[in-house]
Amino acid sequence: MSTQINPKSDSTALTVPGGWFASLPQAMRDALLENAQIRTLAAGQRLFARGDAPDGIYCVLTGVVRVTGITDDGREAILAMLESAQWFGEIALFDHEARTHDAWAESDAKLLRVTQPTLERMLAQRPDYWRHFGRLLTQKLRAVFVAMEDIFLLPPTTRLARRLLSMAQGYGAWTDRTSRVVSISQVQLGLMLSLSRQTVNLALKELEQAGSIRRNRGSIEILDLRKLEAAGPLLAPLSQRRQTGH
């Protein structure tokens, strides 16, 4: 269900410090909200499917949205679990092609939606706004490159720790906020990291014994951010690795 909103109401989640929306010029923020809609989803409801026509961009206000790909034989790969106030759906804004993945409500969710025609009118009037949407797109591209490198280079526990850190920090969308509870199950972590459930369980036990996390049903609680960072350190830049012989 979609409803029109007042630009000054129901947008508290968009003011996350350091978030993409918070970094926009005030005029652009107002323009996005003027014709925005609120979309509510029940847990398990699909927002859009791979192959669907582009219908705008979204921001999670409450709840969790799972972005995923599913093969013809039913195998699933989870790309991201999105929470407030993360924006998504901008790829189709640039190329006008079909949706690349499915988006599902992992829990009851409330989303902000700005439609494709609204965005196209705005960008026709203010082409300088394209660079701000470009920043949103490159945030995702950076996250994809890091995830690919992790899969090829890191052992399971380190890879898991880094992904939990990334999720806790909103996949780089937040700079001044860290979630203490990451809403994801062990099965979903395995699908996200290409690891078996047994391997995920062993890695989580290792992190829990180190005092960095606590496992809960359907979520992971971060107890000590520094210990988790120590378990999943960032890889050195390529130039630095060449200099040190790594």
pLDDT in tens, 55-68: 999 999 999 999 99
Does an H or E element contain 195, and which? Answer: none
Residue-wise DSSP of 91-114: HHHHH----SSEEEESSSEEEEEE
**Segments of 106-169 assigned E as strands:** 109-114
List of domains in the chain? 2-140 (2.60.120.10), 156-244 (1.10.10.10)
239 pLDDT band (50/70/90 cuts)? very low
Q: What is the per-residue pLDDT across 131-163, written as a single tens digit (0 to 9) for each?
A: 999 999 998 888 888 888 888 888 999 999 999
Q: What is the per-residue pLDDT across 91-142, written as a single tens digit (0 to 9) for each?
A: 999 999 999 999 999 999 999 999 999 999 999 999 999 999 999 999 888 8
Cα radius of gyration rounded to whole Å, the chain: 19
Cβ partners under 8 Å of residue 94, min gap 6: 133, 137
Q: For the sheet containing 46-48, what is the strand order?
A: 46-48, 102-105, 65-70, 76-82
Whole-angstrom Cα distance, residue 110 to residue 64? 9
243 pLDDT band (50/70/90 cuts)? very low
pTM across the whole model: 0.82
Whole-angstrom Cα distance, residue 67 to residue 98? 15
